[in-house]
């Protein structure tokens, strides 16, 4: 590598102009980034450190003050077993649903990428279509298929002597997993296909000349080459899992098995909008963001490490 | 009025013997001062957030009569308390509407937010006699009046008379008979009812009937007594029915429940007066087969009833035109033509004394086989314990009850444990809101 001289060098006039131009282009981004990203986070952090104090008889009609709360909102959130149970639940959900969905998406991507596949365009669109259905609508749709008395699925199982309860305590989490998988497998598949398309054809040609069959090509060439896309989709899914909200929110009225803290996001929502307690909600949101950060970066580090080992080996 | 003098607090506390303690204050103190109101001849538009079906009809009537003070209805969703979330958020953001539809149980939670206007300054008191006493009292705190009563929901038992007849079962008049009926109906392969874990509203009604009193005040401290003897009795009763599988435990007023009601798989519903429209709308094919009987009693011959729901028209503290907003709220809920339009859309039992007769409430008479069913609700309304008061976090309370009942039904633990849990949580919730609170 060429050594960079350490002495600071004055910019030439053209360089200075292009630097100015660059910052001109960057400024709108930075402004938006500050406004839409940093400011809300800062505000949530600030709110999470306050609490309300009311005066006046019965706390009505008097003054309502916001006072410093220290970390008491965080303590409250962490002591709330509903909130912590929600974390356990989404982690279990992620541990099962993410690998399943990614495996499914990868299989579909590989199948559709196989040169001999027919109707590729049609199937690609068909698999992707559920992603176009908003999460709330998807949950309502699936809700109809889960509710006993209405669902043809339950009726069919019933007539065969199976007693299924999609919305029961043990099953409802996996009923939600089914909705999420239905919605996002196609989306992840598209990301994977996009990367597959970027693999130069000569590699396949070389493999075929070496006598590799389709399975071997997929296993030893395609899969390692779409690794970045696999990592990306997994991280997205990880974050998406922690953000689970629409599905349990929509299914809640239909089921006796979803409480108001079923997922951390639902807990924060209810704290803010049902209990009208935005300070605790802010603390819960910050905790959720922290866990999402730790998990995503932890995962990236993990696969980064493994990647390096793989390179060395 | 900021910084209530101590004497006023004590005065209010003295008044608490009759109702709730609150010294006559309640103006918001964020420096705006008195709103100037409308100049003569000035044309204004008031916004009104409501979810009541058909509310736009009386409003259109008002608009045709009052060209200067137009009211614009903005429909809000009543699913899961979404309307209140929206109102609280709007208060916080400083842009609430002028008027809002607020149910009796949640009025106090808006007072904690300083969200509602004390209407006594604008002469609401002169209209007091037009309304049914206990409904008026639901929005009175101390000397302040925060909302105009619209309607209530006295409870009764909707039954499928044809099925009861077919099975040879008498409609129950006591809770013991109810249990016997539940057993008999179960033997016929159907269910008498569902106990919906998430329906805190109705459970509150059941406790209310049994003589519970969940909230109260002592001086400037709130008292919470959800885990009291009457409520325990109610909890034990329903736990026993659920444990013996004599009732369903699915959520009510959801698709599966509607299906059960349509097919006769569920043969009765402990509902409120506004429930007539709900049944008519959702089980039209069962027309003519329904009747309404009084809610079962704990002791034979008693006449104690309860209320489920009911709401007010409240004026938000930030409105620029309090006088006009109040005038509209009074008109909406007392004008005979307006009430007629509201009744037709099934809004409940009117809060106004005049302007209607019970027979006018029987708009769905055919559905109930010609029965003058509103008489049952009218009687129930007279037997409602009027000392019942709501606390400042009712939505949270319902959620707590829903969560705890959900868990109890799931793992089979008894419903008494639910009360104990929710009692503790509610006290903590009120503390979290910066209020003084203790167990009652």
Q: Is the pLDDT of residue A193 over 70?
A: yes
Q: Exposed (0-12), middle (13-18) or buried (19+): which is B285, by Cβ within 10 Å?
A: exposed
- CB-count burial class (<10 Å; 0-12, 13-18, 19+) for A231: middle
Contacts (Cβ under 8 Å, ≥6 apart) of A165? A148, A154, A171
Report the pLDDT value the prediction gives residue A55, as an integer from 0 to 100: 80
Determine the Cα–Cα distance for residues A153 and A149; give it in Å rounded to an integer.
10
pTM: 0.85
CB spacing of A169 vs B410 below 8 angstroms: yes
d(CA B365, CA B144): 39
Interface of A with B (CB under 8 A): 51-64, 76, 82, 143-144, 147-150, 169, 252-261, 270, 273-278, 280
Q: What is the pLDDT of residue B48?
A: 97
In B283-412, the DSSP E strands lie at 290-294, 307-315, 349-350
Residue of chain B nearest A50, judged by CA positions: B432
> What value of ipTM does the predicted structure carry?
0.81
- Neighboring chain A residues of B407 at a CB cutoff of 8 Å: 259
- pLDDT in the model for residue A54: 84
Enumerate the H helices of chain A as residue ranges: 13-33, 39-48, 72-79, 81-113, 120-128, 135-146, 152-159, 172-197, 201-209, 214-217, 223-225, 227-242, 246-251, 264-273, 278-312
Q: How many residues does chain A have?
A: 313
As a whole number of angstroms, the distance between CA A72 and CA A65 comes to 17
Q: Which of A42, A65, A80 is nearest to A282 (CA)?
A: A42
Which residue ranges in chain B fall short of pLDDT 50? 1-32
CA-CA distance, B138 to A39, in Å (whole number)?
A: 42
Provide the pLDDT for residue A309: 54
Alpha carbons B326 and B328: distance in angstroms, whole number = 5
Catalogue the E-assigned strands of B284-380. 290-294, 307-315, 349-350
Task: Please tell me whether residue A11 adopts helix, strand or coil conformation.
Answer: coil
pLDDT of residue B307: 93
pLDDT of amino acid B409: 92
Interchain CB distance below 8 Å, B393 and A275: yes
Chain-chain contact of A61 with B22 (C-beta, under 8 angstroms) = yes
Q: How many CB atoms lie within 10 A of CB B391?
A: 25
Between the CA atoms of B43, B49, B50 and B54, what dihedral angle is there, to the nearest 10 degrees?
Answer: 40
Q: Which pLDDT score, from 0 to 100, does residue B396 have?
A: 92
* A144 three-class SS: helix
Other beta carbons less than 10 A from residue A304's beta carbon: 12
B250 interaction partners in chain A (CB closer than 8 Å): 148, 256
| pLDDT at A11 (0 to 100) | 72
pLDDT tens for each residue of A235-291: 999 999 999 999 999 999 898 899 999 999 999 999 998 888 889 999 999 999 999
Say whether A125 sits in a helix, a strand or coil. Answer: helix
Which pLDDT score, from 0 to 100, does residue A117 have? 64
Instruction: Give B260's contacts in chain A (Cβ within 8 Å).
Output: 149
Nearest Cβ partner of A82 from B118, B396, B403?
Answer: B403
3-state secondary structure of B361: helix
- Average pLDDT of every residue of chain B: 88
Chain A nearest-CA distance from B375, in A, is 33
> Can you give the C-alpha Rg of chain B in angstroms?
22
Higher pLDDT, A195 or B142: A195
Q: What is the DSSP string of B234-278?
A: HHHHHHHHHHTT-SB-SPSSSHHHHHHHHHTSB-EEEEETTHHHH
Question: Shortest CB distance from A63 goes to which of B2, B256, B260?
Answer: B2
Interchain CB distance below 8 Å, B396 and A52:
no
Residues of B with Cβ-Cβ distance to A263 under 8 angstroms:
none
Q: Is the pLDDT of residue A60 over 80?
A: no
Instruction: Return mean pLDDT, chain A.
Output: 89
Instruction: Give Cβ neighbours of residue B403 (< 8 Å, ≥ 6 apart).
Output: A82, A259, A260, A261
Chain B residue closest to A65 (CA)? B434
Nearest to B138 by CA among B14, B392, B311: B311
Per-residue pLDDT, B15: 38
Residue contacts between A and B (CB atoms, under 8 Å): 149
d(CA A86, CA A78): 11
Question: pLDDT class for A174, splitting at 50, 70, 90?
Answer: very high
Average pLDDT over residues A163-186: 94
Beta carbons of A57 and B4 less than 8 Å apart:
yes
Cβ neighbour number for residue B224 with a 10 Å cutoff: 24
In the prediction, which pLDDT does A6 show? 56
Going by the DSSP 8-state scheme, the letter that residue B372 receives in this structure is -
pLDDT of residue A116: 64
In angstroms, what is the C-alpha Rg of chain A? Answer: 26
DSSP B147-172: EEEEEEEEEEEEEEHHHHHHHT-PPP
User: Which of these, B327, B297, B301, lies nearest to B315 by C-alpha position?
Assistant: B327
User: CA of A58 to nearest chain B CA: how many angstroms apart?
Assistant: 5
DSSP secondary-structure letter at B143?
T
CA distance B328 to chain A (A): 24
Among the listed residues A159, A105, A102, A160, the one whose alpha carbon sits nearest the alpha carbon of residue A127: A105
Alpha-carbon B160 to chain mean position: 25
Tell me if residue B217 falls in helix, strand or coil: strand
Distance CA A12, CA B26 (A): 68
Higher-pLDDT residue of A12, B282 = B282
A150 DSSP 8-state letter: T
pLDDT for B347 equals 79
Strands B44-50 vs B69-75: parallel, antiparallel or unpaired: parallel
The C-alpha atoms of residue B398 and residue B200 are separated, in whole angstroms, by 5
């Amino acid at each position: 590598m060429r050594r960079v001289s350490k002495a600071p060098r004055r910019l030439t006039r053209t360089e200075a102009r292009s630097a100015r131009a660059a910052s001109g282009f960057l400024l709108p981004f930075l402004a938006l980034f500050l406004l839409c990203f940093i400011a809300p986070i800062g505000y949530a952090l600030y709110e999470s450190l306050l609490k309300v104090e009311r005066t006046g008889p019965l706390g009505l009609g008097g003054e309502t003050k916001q006072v410093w709360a220290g970390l008491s909102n965080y303590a409250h959130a962490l002591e709330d077993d509903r909130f912590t149970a929600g974390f356990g639940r989404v982690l279990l959900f992620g541990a099962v649903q993410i690998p399943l969905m990614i495996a499914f998406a990868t299989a579909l991507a590989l199948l559709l990428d196989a040169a001999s596949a027919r109707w590729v365009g049609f199937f690609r669109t068909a698999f992707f279509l559920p992603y176009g259905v908003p999460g709330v609508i998807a949950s309502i749709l699936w809700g109809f298929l889960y509710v006993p008395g209405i669902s043809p699925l339950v009726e069919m199982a019933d007539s065969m002597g199976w007693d299924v309860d999609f919305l029961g305590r043990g099953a409802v989490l996996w009923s939600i997993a089914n909705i999420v998988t239905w919605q996002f497998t196609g989306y992840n598949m598209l990301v994977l296909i996009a990367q597959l398309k970027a693999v130069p054809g000569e590699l396949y040609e070389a493999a075929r000349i070496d006598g590799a069959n389709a399975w071997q090509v997929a296993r030893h060439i395609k899969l390692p080459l779409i690794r970045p896309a696999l990592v990306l989709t997994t991280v997205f899914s990880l974050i998406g899992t922690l953000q689970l909200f629409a599905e349990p929110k929509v299914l809640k009225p239909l089921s006796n098995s979803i409480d108001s803290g079923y997922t951390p996001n639902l807990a924060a929502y209810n704290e803010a909008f049902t209990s009208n307690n935005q300070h605790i909600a802010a603390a819960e949101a910050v905790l959720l963001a922290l866990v999402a950060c730790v998990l995503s970066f932890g995962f990236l580090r993990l696969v980064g490490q493994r990647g390096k080992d793989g390179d060395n080996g | 009025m900021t910084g209530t003098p101590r004497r006023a607090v004590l005065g209010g506390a003295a008044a608490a013997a009759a109702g709730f303690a609150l010294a006559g204050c309640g103006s918001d103190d964020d420096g705006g001062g008195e709103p100037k109101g409308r100049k003569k001849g000035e044309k204004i538009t008031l916004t009104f957030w409501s979810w009541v079906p058909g509310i736009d009809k009386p409003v259109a009537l008002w608009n045709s009569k009052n060209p200067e003070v137009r009211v614009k209805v903005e429909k809000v969703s009543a699913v899961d308390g979404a309307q209140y979330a929206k109102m609280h958020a709007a208060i916080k953001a400083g842009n609430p509407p002028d008027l809002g539809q607020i149910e009796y149980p949640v009025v106090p939670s808006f007072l904690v937010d300083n969200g509602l206007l004390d209407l006594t300054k604008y002469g609401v008191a002169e209209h007091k006699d037009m309304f049914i006493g206990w409904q008026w009292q639901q929005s009175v705190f101390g000397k302040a009046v925060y909302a105009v009563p619209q309607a209530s929901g006295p409870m009764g038992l909707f039954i499928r008379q044809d099925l009861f007849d077919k099975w040879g079962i008498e409609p129950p008049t006591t809770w013991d008979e109810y249990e016997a009926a539940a057993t008999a109906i179960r033997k016929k392969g159907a269910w008498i009812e569902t106990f919906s874990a998430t329906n805190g509203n109705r459970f509150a009604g059941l406790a209310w009937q049994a003589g519970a009193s969940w909230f109260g005040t002592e001086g400037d401290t709130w008292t919470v007594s959800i885990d009291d003897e009457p409520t325990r009795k109610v909890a034990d009763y329903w736990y026993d029915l659920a444990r013996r599988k004599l009732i369903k435990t699915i959520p009510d007023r959801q698709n599966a429940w509607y299906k059960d009601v349509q097919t006769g798989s569920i043969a009765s519903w402990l509902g409120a007066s506004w429930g007539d429209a709900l049944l008519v709308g959702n089980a039209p094919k069962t027309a003519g087969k329904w009747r309404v009987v009084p809610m079962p009693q704990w002791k034979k011959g008693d006449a104690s009833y309860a209320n489920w729901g009911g709401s007010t028209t409240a004026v938000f503290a930030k409105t620029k035109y309090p006088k006009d907003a109040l005038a509209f709220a009074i008109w909406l809920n007392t004008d005979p033509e307006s009430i007629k339009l509201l009744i037709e859309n099934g809004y409940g039992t009117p809060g106004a004394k005049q302007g209607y007769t019970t027979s006018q409430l029987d708009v769905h008479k055919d559905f109930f086989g010609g029965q003058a069913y509103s008489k049952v609700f009218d009687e129930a309304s007279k037997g409602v314990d009027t000392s019942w008061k709501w606390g400042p976090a009712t939505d949270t309370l319902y959620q707590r009850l829903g969560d705890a009942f959900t868990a109890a039904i799931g793992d089979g633990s008894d419903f008494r444990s639910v009360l104990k849990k929710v009692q503790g949580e509610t006290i903590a919730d009120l503390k979290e809101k910066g209020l003084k609170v203790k167990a009652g």
